[in-house]
Chain A
């Protein structure tokens, strides 16, 4: 009995336990409210259903969240991702709108390349401010967060650029193998980021830099390069997300595209168990966090509550997640149940004594 208890304790102590519980609870609540919620139908070779919608709509947030995870793991933060979305979306739409044939694949590819290229430049700007000049990340990226919206509007000249390009549109709402293309893009980027961080030593080095920057420098890590790199990755992720956001509505609005996505992304990262102080990070946690946020938004829509009001629920989620993860809160909570923590301590000690 004690082993099952210990196993249960290990499961509940896992950083993704409570987010997963919240996600399941939300899905259950939705199913009760609307019994058809979980059904997925096949129509015209495409899968339809709320779950598919959640995945599709969560794709931009997952992308931004992945980049944000790496930035936060180095102990930084990137507030400018929302503006980056707007900029990359704006430049891509601008280029396509200037093409004689908006449906030409080559024009769309050039547009995407332009967007990614601009994201690289802006990411390099953020990275340089943080890693070379040494400005605090929250402040350094605040600059582009403010100015970036202006840049996006500069690109669109204050207008909303509407385009009519099937290939570009498919980035947001297209289908591949019965599932929305956006899901594949998000999954592809997620796998790529996971491979780049976990199949190489990049992940560990990021965690080392975030955990202790000075110790990492003295161990011979080129911290500045790593820091620079994560801001560039974050910017590119945001750039791709910007394509999706604008493709969803086939238009680029410098003001509205990607508005507040930085906050949602940070929230997703925190829900996913990556500490805002840097260090250990969890990509799967971030994806779970993004899905949780999107499910919450979809739920609110489904219940016919205005989208703005969904912010009320987000506020509650932010506070609960932060409280649950805050050591100070846990300590307070644990003090009320003094019996529980005593048991594992004893177990740990006996474990340590065995090899000695």
Chain B
């Protein structure tokens, strides 16, 4: 008896199916960029790419957190509100004359704390993440108006310097501090997912929670951890947003959770969990950013087309995931 009969033969040239969605996103991104470059001369300017990052840095950070949550098979609807709450809280504390360092610390603690509480409810009481984070979303949005009913401007010198600092080459192309922060978050996120036990446990839980439990993995801790991570990323995203807008507004980032989820899905992460990459999420955010840029460049198209196109892409990628799922069976 040989074991070879148990081993399926494999075509070496075949792309493993787990990479198909990410490659599809990459292709889409390149095509869209190509279309942009061929249609508008100004599009080929490298600053256009940088601007996509500058405008979407906070989205990218939040999407990294969301990737963790979706990989476990969960979802976090509270991110938009937590972003807004963090920005509001920072603006309000700064207005009250609190030292910027202290503001940063407080702002970075609130999001994860809320995430921790949501994670605990999800894990200990076995309630669907969708409904718990919905409560979190209500709570954080309510806190925004509780802090102030109107927008609070930020005049703190540290914040303004962070907002205006340009890091660039001699030709005048530049990125903001926020972009560097976002890159740092992406790198840390990618490392944690690929090279730490926490990251692998996240994948395992998304693949089969029951198995993860029986293999003795710390399922509860990991599930709580992903909501803390998502809360932390939302908090960082909130601070970056306050750098970007230099204010805190109670109704900012409404519906942002949808953009984030769309970016993660377009980036190839499977919504049922277990499969996905932070790198894919970066591509997903870039796709969203390039769509917005293309629509801005076009001028004749209106902003609502962004939503329709994102919806269409969401449909296409969900269909792709579904087809791959069927083929696996």
Contact = CB atoms under 8 A, between A and B. Distances in A.
Query: Do any beta carbons of A and B sit within 8 angstroms of each other in the complex?
Result: yes
Interface of A: 77, 129, 133-136, 138-140, 142-151, 153-154, 157-158, 254, 263, 266-267, 270, 276, 306, 308-316, 318-319, 322-323, 326-329, 332
Contacts of B319: 133, 135
Interface residue SS majority, chain A: helix
Interface residues of B, number: 48
A45 B322 CA distance: 58
Contacts of B310: 146-147, 150
Interface stretch (B122-130, B152-160, B179-187): B122-130
Given A153-B304, A308-B250, A311-B142, A136 B272 contact: yes
Contact of B307 (A136, A150, A311): A150
Interface stretch (B10-18, B105-113, B143-151): B143-151
Interface of B: 75, 121, 124-128, 130-132, 134-139, 141-146, 149, 250-251, 255, 258, 261-262, 265, 271-272, 302-312, 314-315, 318-319, 322
Contact of B306 (A134, A150, A313): A150
B311 A144 contact: yes
Contacts of A332: 125
B139 A312 contact: yes
A276 B322 contact: no
Closest 5 CB pairs of A and B: A147-B311, A150-B307, A312-B142, A308-B145, A153-B304
23 contacts: A133-B319, A135-B319, A143-B311, A145-B258, A146-B310, A146-B314, A149-B304, A154-B305, A158-B302, A267-B134, A270-B131, A306-B145, A311-B138, A311-B141, A313-B142, A315-B137, A315-B142, A316-B135, A319-B121, A322-B121, A322-B135, A328-B125, A329-B125
Contacts of A147: 307-308, 310-312, 314-315
B307 A308 contact: no
A187 B119 CA distance: 39
Contacts of A323: 121, 125, 127
A133 B322 contact: yes
Contact of A153 (B126, B127, B128, B307): B307
Contact of A158 (B131, B304, B322): B304
